[in-house]
Amino acid sequence: MSPFAHQLSAHCESGVTAQLLTHAGLTLTEPRALGIGSGLFFVQLPLDTLMGAPSTSFRSKPGSIFAKACRRLAVPTNIRRYGNARVAHDELLRLVDQGQLVALQTSVYYLEYLPRRFRFPFNAHNIIVYGRKDGRWLVSDPVLDQAAECDDESMSRARFAAGLLAPRGKAYWVEPIRDASPSRITEAMAAGLRETGFTMGHSPIPFFGAKAIGYLAKRCEAWPKRFAKQPQKALLLLANVVRMQEEIGTGGAGFRYLYAAFLQDVADTFGDPAYAQMSERMTAIGDTWRKFAGAAARLFRGGQATPEAFAPVVETLRGLGEAERALFRELSAQVRGGRKALPAQNPPLPS
């Protein structure tokens, strides 16, 4: 197998998926991994926090990008969880010795090569182990510009961290792919678009999809009044939304730029300029998400949490909800070619 070269990505799981598949012989870019794996999503639950974590999310369930992308590309996967850190370590050692790239789900809290202020307890960070040198793992963390190293103890801790989304030692890898047919890629891209178009534009549940952005705006509007006595709490909840959008594994602006890059790719692959136009609109939506984060940051610095101070931020969110709903409904109609909206169907696996 060819030597592995670390590559910079914007998001951990789509970056890991792209690198694993590319290394196995099926060239895949990061935006394609995200788009095919339907990584873009929006969730706002009717709670402020869920087991201490924010109840807002810009992503689909951790692990689903890899699983969906591989299923749609008909690539067989190996996904293991372990009950015992010793067994997990030995198996990783064996795989790495064979020259296999292995991706791991880890907690950022124990990964000491990361900047200190980002090492909060978050359990769904994906990294690649590509080798071992002097008793230390050689780690390719896709969100950093350089490869890193990690010792055994930290690695075991990171893989067996407790709490929400506990990784339980999860390791996944792809064996070399012999026949990568290009026709699969277009089918897979369409399947990814169908699912994202449906879940974002047509979700029947108001806590999921673009409608939930409007719901977040409504909740956000109420925070200054609800926490009139403790403005810091209202600001913390808003800060959590911004952190979910920018920092906690969404590749910036809550995946919107990455998805715009995917739509640009779709326009070229399908030869359909309608997608290029949607890509531009998606870029504008990403810019608005950034504007929202910038306005929120000014609120944090001011330390003020009054309904008047929150009003522009709430308005921006509401506008985003409407713009995204319209865009994803159009996207859904475009990819279905006029057929009725139904949940995405996956192409059957060849036997």
Q: Which residues bind another protein (CB under 8 A)?
A: 8-11, 15, 30-31, 52, 109, 114-118, 120-121, 142-146, 161-163, 232, 235-236, 239-240, 242-243, 246-247, 251-253, 257-258, 260-261, 264, 283, 286-287, 290, 293-294, 296-297, 300-301
Token pair, residue 342, equals 């139904």
Asked whether 177 and 309 are in contact (CB, 8 A), the reply is no
Token pair, residue 13, equals 């799981």
Token pair, residue 123, equals 């359990």
User: Which burial class, exposed, middle or buried, applies to 271 when counting CB atoms under 10 A from its CB (0-12, 13-18, 19+)?
Assistant: exposed
**Nearer of residues 4 and 118 to another protein, judged by Cβ:** 118
Q: How far is the CB of 187 from another protein (least distance, A)?
A: 23
H helix or E strand, kind and range, residue 79: strand 78-80
**Nearer of residues 9 and 100 to another protein, judged by Cβ:** 9
Q: How far is the CB of 234 from another protein (least distance, A)?
A: 11
**Nearer of residues 98 and 146 to another protein, judged by Cβ:** 146
Q: How far is the CB of 247 from another protein (least distance, A)?
A: 6
The count of other CB atoms within 10 Å of the CB of residue 96 is 17
Calpha distance 31→39 (Å, rounded) = 10
What's the angle, vertex CA 345, arms to CA 73 and CA 177, rounded to 5? Answer: 10
**Nearer of residues 210 and 248 to another protein, judged by Cβ:** 248
Token pair, residue 202, equals 């047509």
**Nearer of residues 102 and 161 to another protein, judged by Cβ:** 161
Q: How far is the CB of 48 from another protein (least distance, A)?
A: 13
Q: How far is the CB of 81 from another protein (least distance, A)?
A: 15
